[in-house]
Structure 1
Amino acid sequence: MSALVQTVEAQPLLSVQGLTKHFPARNGRIVHAVEDVSFDVQRGSTVGLVGESGSGKTTAGRALLRLVEPTGGKALFDGVDLFSLSSRDMRAYRQKLQIVFQDPFSSLNPRMRVAAIIGEALDARGFPRGKKRAERVAELLTLVGLSPDHASRYPHEFSGGQRQRIGIARALAVEPQFIVADEPVSALDVSVQAQVLNLFGDLQRKLGLTLLFIAHDLSVVEYLCDEVVVMYLGRVMERGPSRLVYAAPRHPYTKALLATAPVPDPTRRRSHIPLHGDIPSPIDPPSGCVFRTRCPEAIAACAETVPPVEPVGGGHHVACIRHNEKMSDWSLK
């Protein structure tokens, strides 16, 4: 294989570079929702974007699709910067880029039958009406584990998990390459969460999808994601292959998130790493490292400089000025 072919194959489907999103607030102040976020998503892989409520992960996901307009940065999709496209040109990319929303109750029009909900997406593709459309709707419903007979029903006739499957079917109707799944299981019961997560995994294998999976719980995406990006107050704290981030987290915030995640084995426990206080306001974020006000390992230098996201080996990156020092033992006990 030539070096040129190898280089092309190694290019990520999506490369996010310095994504920034600010919102105006009262008295001329600024909400720093997302600050200088960078990561890559390889073709056919799943990247988990994880953090507490208020970390900026949902805003980042929506900014990538330009559902909210980014303030700065680049999002190279197959080499094309989505942020530089006109509104008309961006519409042409909507077929390639889709989103599954968090709330399956409010993301579906209650006045429309399932066939019409999915049919709206098919209209965007110029899909013909009639028998072929009905067959395509039935095919999509079957693909997400529902019955073709469900096409004639309204959203209120379904459970939360079934509604989320309808939302997934709608996203798949345009045959996208890339899907942002914005906390798609957070509103569901635990048993239903597992079913929907398994569905995403099955669909990725069958259709070759590329996923950005947004969640607030690291344990939810542990087995689904190839890579993990941990955000706090709009910034990336740590990112890298899942096997490294879960086995040997380097940032104190990642350790704290993992320590609070449930462990299915009752004989094993993670040591507790306390997180005191609440996440600060994005209108007035702390100086230096934004996590320092809650960090159990913060030192005076943490208030002076915003730590860059630096490599620590094996594709693992961390934004912590102490990442080269020996960290406290976080391992399972």
Structure 2
Amino acid sequence: MTNAEPLLRIRNLQKRFPIRGGLLQRPVAWVNAVDDLSLDIHRGEVVGLVGESGSGKTTAGRSILRLLEPTAGSIRFDGQEITGLSKDAMRAQRRRMQIVFQDPYASLDPRQRVRDVIGEALDIHGIGTKEDRRDRIAALLHKVGLTADAMDRFPHEFSGGQRQRIGIARALAVEPDFIVADEPVSALDVSVQAQVVNLLRDLQQELGLAVLFIAHDLAVVRYISDRVAVMYLGRMMEIAPSESLYDRPRHPYTLALLSAAPTPDPDAPRNRVLLDGDIPSPMNPPSGCVFRTRCPFALPACAEPAARAMREVAPGHHVACIRDDIPAPASAVV
């Protein structure tokens, strides 16, 4: 990866949600949805973000865009700190930072025609004239594999995959530099997931976009990502170049995720890692490594604060684990 200044630099990001109770509905506890997240994303790079449901992936993505206000931490976009920006100043930045949502139907206004769904972003940011917007929208639809006559139809007239293409066109309308793709294919039929992933990959390469690709499908993440980050209970467990992480995971949680993934060859050797117990409550996470209560390789030292620290175990490969003897996978599992 280039040593140039990253487009996006996140340091010690936190997002907590209050649990309110009592007559005055004051906070009585806090949910640590994202806890001390640090991450760089470079121009033209795709970073995959994986983890179980409830690991904090979506909250992290929305906090980075300030669709959710971070509780603490720093977010620098193209060298500018954005956590303290006013709503007006943030609106200007959001032209360069867009999101593709998980549910392609819920994210589109059913009362608007496609031309209005896409054109709304152009109106908000004052892009183009009224005279040329129809041509702009037609060009965007063509770019995502739809015909120009789609602009006069309503979202319910399209399939799920077509609606997600409309959502992608809407995100691209303002010519962003960075996109959060929040599980963009998880709500789609398997038969169309590959089409949408290929579209996203082709557009990312053509336009030089930086992308945070949030997903739970490890095969999809490997296919599209330059680097992969793994989250558990709001914390970063591991981050590495894609091939490095899949070929030699260094955190027990990553190994468990990979060992549970389906493989094309059911007879291939597997180094299955079975996890005991349930995910702890984010209101009261374990001390030290938050994964230690389910980790088959845990040591007493894993309960110490030092066990949370990320360390570099190979060039560009960082892991929050004190052990160096985590077994390698028996074979490529995805």
* TM-score normalised by L of structure 1: 0.94
Deviation, 1:329, is: 3.8
**Equivalent residues of 1:121, 1:173 under 8 A apart:** yes
Aligned to 2:329: 330
Aligned to 1:64: 64
Structure 2 residue 156 is matched with structure 1 residue 162:
no
Aligned to 1:279: 279
What is the alpha-carbon distance in structure 2 between the residues aligned to residue 259 and residue 14 of structure 1? 31
1:46-68 deviation line (CA, Å, top 9, x unaligned): 00111111101110100000000
Question: 1:1-333, aligned counterparts within 5 Å?
Answer: 10-27=4-21, 28-128=28-128, 130-305=130-305, 306-322=307-323, 324=324, 326-332=325-331
Deviation, 1:88, is: 1.8
What is the alpha-carbon distance in structure 1 between the residues aligned to residue 80 and residue 194 of structure 2? 35
What is the alpha-carbon distance in structure 1 between the residues aligned to residue 129 and residue 203 of structure 2? 25
What is the alpha-carbon distance in structure 2 between the residues aligned to residue 279 and residue 147 of structure 1? 46
Unaligned stretches of 5+ residues in structure 2: 22-27
What's the secondary structure of 1:222's corresponding residue? helix
* TM-score normalised by L of structure 2: 0.93
Q: Please give the root-mean-square deviation of Cα atoms over the aligned residues, in Å.
A: 1.5
What is the alpha-carbon distance in structure 2 between the residues aligned to residue 114 and residue 175 of structure 1? 18
What is the alpha-carbon distance in structure 2 between the residues aligned to residue 84 and residue 55 of structure 1? 26
Percent identity between matched residues is 62
Aligned pair count reads 324
**Equivalent residues of 2:105, 2:163 under 8 A apart:** yes
Greater mean deviation of Cα atoms: 87-96 or 160-169? 87-96
Deviation, 1:294, is: 1.1
Unaligned stretches of 5+ residues in structure 1: 1-6
**Equivalent residues of 1:124, 1:174 under 8 A apart:** no
What is the alpha-carbon distance in structure 2 between the residues aligned to residue 68 and residue 111 of structure 1? 26
**Equivalent residues of 2:247, 2:329 under 8 A apart:** no
Greater mean deviation of Cα atoms: 78-87 or 88-97? 78-87
**Equivalent residues of 2:275, 2:295 under 8 A apart:** yes
Deviation, 1:256, is: 0.6
Deviation, 1:86, is: 2.0
**Equivalent residues of 1:32, 1:282 under 8 A apart:** yes
Paired amino acid for 2:304: E
1:69-108 deviation line (CA, Å, top 9, x unaligned): 0011111111111112222211110100000011111000
Runs of 4+ with >6 A deviation:
none
What's the secondary structure of 1:220's corresponding residue? helix
What is the alpha-carbon distance in structure 1 between the residues aligned to residue 177 and residue 124 of structure 2? 16
**Equivalent residues of 1:51, 1:217 under 8 A apart:** no
